[in-house]
Structure 1
Amino acid sequence: MATLASVRVLAIDIGTGTQDILLFESGRTMENNVKLVMPSPTVIVAERIRRATAAGRPLLLTGVTMGGGPSHWAARDHALAGYPVAVTPEAARTFDDDLTAVAQMGFEIVDEEEAARRARTPEVVHVVLQDLDAQAIVQALRSFDLDPRVDALAIAAFDHGAAPPGYSDRRFRFEFLERMIRRSPGPATLAYLADELPPALTRLQAIKASVARYVAESGSAPDLPVLLMDTGAAAALGALEDPLVRQQSRSLLCNIGNFHTLAFHLVNGRIVGLFEHHTGEISQARLEELLQKLAAGTLSNDEVFYDSGHGALVLEPAPASTLPFLAVTGPRRELLRGSSLPHYEAVPHGDMMLAGCFGLLRALAERVPELGTAIRPALLQPTA
């Protein structure tokens, strides 16, 4: 463990469109820390697959479970174009936890030995699936003469969890969120130290396994603390790093991501309600309606689920005559621009795209007290 006077943390918020990276060093002002906003791993994989499709070459996918979306669609399109797609079991769970369902997509499931043999075939395009590309991040930092060694890693990603066969992954995820939040109704409850990570969160488990590669590539201590967190909760916690947001006793924190929209209703720092939907499935008018119902405590889980969303939860109906303070973050926050709802585009530490990273830092400071002493001075201090 580093001395409390000097702590370096690599925080990575992995979304569908971008991966947002913060190399935090205690003693620096937050604005002077190193920041990167780069294409997300699933976007990078999708582009590599599309190049294989354009060349008409067989595709081999290995690696671990990672985020789907763009990578899934590109692999599906490759198969639909009539070109072979072979995938190892662990990588295949990127597309569905049920490998039978993956095979029905037209993908061939091959074992690691067969994959190694095919990878040596010149015409095969071999793409490794992984959310944490340790080699790329270490090389990027070193190319700017930055030391990649850190004292802790904090990583956020969206994880549906491994739903039982035939069970809706949307319901499975939201039921999991509900259990965690009922247990401890604050955004940091969806942050886990590595040894606490629930087995059902298979994407975060794969990221946890990839940490060893970062340690080896960077020369960091092998026993460094690792915190893993849900992206939506990280963004909400990060929004509270904006002074105007933090001073509100009642607020709606709405993160409009490239793929998912998640809103929390907070009263005195406690979650009293939330909903999660797919950004592409909602209009401005629909989002306004969802936010108003969440604030009024009248939004039901079924209303969101049967609208192609994940769900809604109202823990404590807390209606008021006026809408709570509405803070908006996320790369698709323009969805609410021009809205009839008064809202504020939060800019924690002057950088909205790093909201998730700031939330990760806050959660790490809470969960690892010996690091918190060095991290907290750079964070917004709690209001009285």
Structure 2
Amino acid sequence: MAPAAARVLAIDIGTGTQDILLFESGRTMENNVKLVMPSPTVIVAERIRRATEAGRPLLLTGVTMGGGPSHWAARDHALAGYPVAVTPEAARTFDDDLNAVAQMGFEIVSEEEAARQARRPDVVHIELQDLDGQAIVQALRTFDVDPRVDALAIAAFDHGAAPPGYSDRRFRFEFLEHMIRRSPRPATFAYLAEEIPPALTRLQALKRSVARYMEYSGSRPDLPVLVMDTGAAAALGALEDPLVRQQRQSLLCNIGNFHTLAFHLVEGRIVGLFEHHTGEISRARLEELLQKLAAGILTNDEVFEDSGHGALVLEPARPAASPTTSPELPFLAVTGPRRELLRGSALPHYEAVPHGDMMLAGCFGLLRALAERVPELAPAIRPALLNGRDSLARG
């Protein structure tokens, strides 16, 4: 009997782009609908800049979303002398501590006050959200594509809500370490909607935005929803490249626009990782970090003190073949929009192209994680994945 059909919307939300895959079982992966669009934070930043150019007051409402470009644009608006009003939940986009947001020059206003300001004709009102369900539904319908789906899988980077005065970077990496020690595999960073840890406020906000997609698209309200960390989704997606998947041991390095995350995998199990800010590392520094990760000698303090998030090594350093040689580097697979950082490197590496499309690596990782976490969807998803199996995703 043929497996039941399934349609899955997978969205990988980065700092530069949001990469969208509408997966339909029964199609070859290459023939599914794909979109690579500006990221939500880039879109919001551009809208804020237009308000700044017009010299108009700014009102920000909505939910917690990714910062970066939108944060900098709002800060520049305030520094230019124009008002920035923001509701409490939207304000946590910029800092989990609302007092810190107020110190940026933003006015924290209630939802009631925001509703009043939104009626003013001079105010530019922008809703903050990582998932703009209405825009995606409109884009699909424009090309006569049915937006109704059977599941949603979304990846985003979440620092987590650190306690006041505690480093966001340390909080983020301590959470990663906790999860990996519990289950050392990339899919451990995938959560069904009801499982999302309370500290992951951005992913919690995404879960709420999903309800609007269901409403706009006509999808049923109780469909499965999975969210995942972007770096882990890209690593899992890289394993959809046949050359990467056949390696017993590998380094998977995702060089994103803002963050670089590298996993050291042995037979699908994480034995080490580091996470850094892409803008803070050169090619030479990245080469050094990868070599130390592979050798098992990279320390958390070294990465943190270098303005990164941290490092974790679960296996001890491997001895060199002889006192005069260095340990051999495992197979190095690279993904991410900034992967050119390693082009010209002395380190042998391979630019992974899962299903022929590097930019959709995170979406492919989301599909594999969804097949693992929602068994009723697995028969429809697995045949489209590499070799129709998910043994490495299970670790």
1:206 alignment partner, SS class: helix
Partner of 1:168: 167
Paired position in structure 2 for 1:296: 295
SS of 2:5's equivalent? Answer: coil
The number of equivalent residue pairs is 382
- Give the corresponding residue for 2:362: 356
Cα distance in 2 for partners of 1:211, 1:318 equals 44
Deviations 1:242-285 (A, max 9, x none): 00000000100000000000000000110000000000000000
Runs (4+) of structure 1 exceeding 6 A deviation are: none
SS in structure 1 at match of 2:130: coil
Identity %: 88
Partner of 1:217: 216
Partner of 2:119: 120
Q: Please point out which of 351, 372, 376 is paired with 1:366.
A: 372
Partner Cα separation in structure 2 for residue 223 and residue 318 of structure 1? 47
CA contact (8 A) 1:4 1:371 kept: no
CA distance in 1, matches of 2:173, 2:369: 21
Map of 1:142-157 to 2, 5 A cutoff? 142-157=141-156
1:5 is aligned to 2:4: yes
Q: Deviations over 1:10-33 (max 9, x none)?
A: 000000000000000000000000
Q: Does 1:330 align with 2:330?
A: no
Q: Deviations over 1:37-86 (max 9, x none)?
A: 00000000000000000011100000000000000000000000110000
Structure 2 match to 1:45: 44
What RMSD in Å do the two structures reach over aligned CA positions? 1.1
- Per-residue Cα deviation, 1:198-231 (whole angstroms, up to 9, x for no partner): 0000000000011110010000011100000000
Listed as ranges, the gaps of 5+ residues in structure 1 are none
Counterpart check, 1:346 vs 2:352: yes
* 2:297 and 2:317 in contact (8 A); partners too: no
Matching of residues 70-81 of structure 1 within 5 Å: 70-81=69-80
Please state if 1:15 is matched with 2:14: yes
- Residue in 2 that maps onto 1:192: 191
1:36 match: 35
Name the SS for the 1:361 alignment partner.
Answer: helix
1:316 deviates by 1.2
Aligned amino acid, residue 255 of structure 1: N
Q: What's the offset of the Cα at 1:5?
A: 2.0
SS in 1 for 2:73: helix
Matches within 5 A, 1:228-239: 228-239=227-238
Partners of 2:140 and 2:246 in 1: CA distance? 36
Give the Cα–Cα distance (whole angstroms) in 2 for the partners of residues 63 and 267 of structure 1: 42
Q: Report the AA paired with residue 185 of structure 1.
A: P
1:289 counterpart letter in structure 2: E
SS of corresponding position for 2:82: coil
Alpha-carbon distance between aligned partners in 2 of 1:61 and 1:210, rounded to the nearest angstrom: 16
Tell me which residue corresponds to 2:324. none
Q: Distance in 1 between matches of 2:315 and 2:210?
A: 38
Provide the secondary structure at the position in 2 that maps to 1:220.
coil
Distance 1:182 1:373 in 2: 30
* Alpha-carbon distance in structure 2 between the residues aligned to 1:249 and 1:182: 21
AA paired with 2:77?
A: H
The alignment partner of 2:122 has SS state of coil
Unaligned runs of 5+ in 2: 321-326
* 8 Å Cα contact 1:4-1:370 kept in structure 2: no
Q: TM-score, normalised by structure 2?
A: 0.96
SS of residue matched to 2:135: helix
The separation in 1 between residues aligned to 2:27 and 2:369, in whole angstroms, is 19
Q: CA deviation at 1:4?
A: 4.1
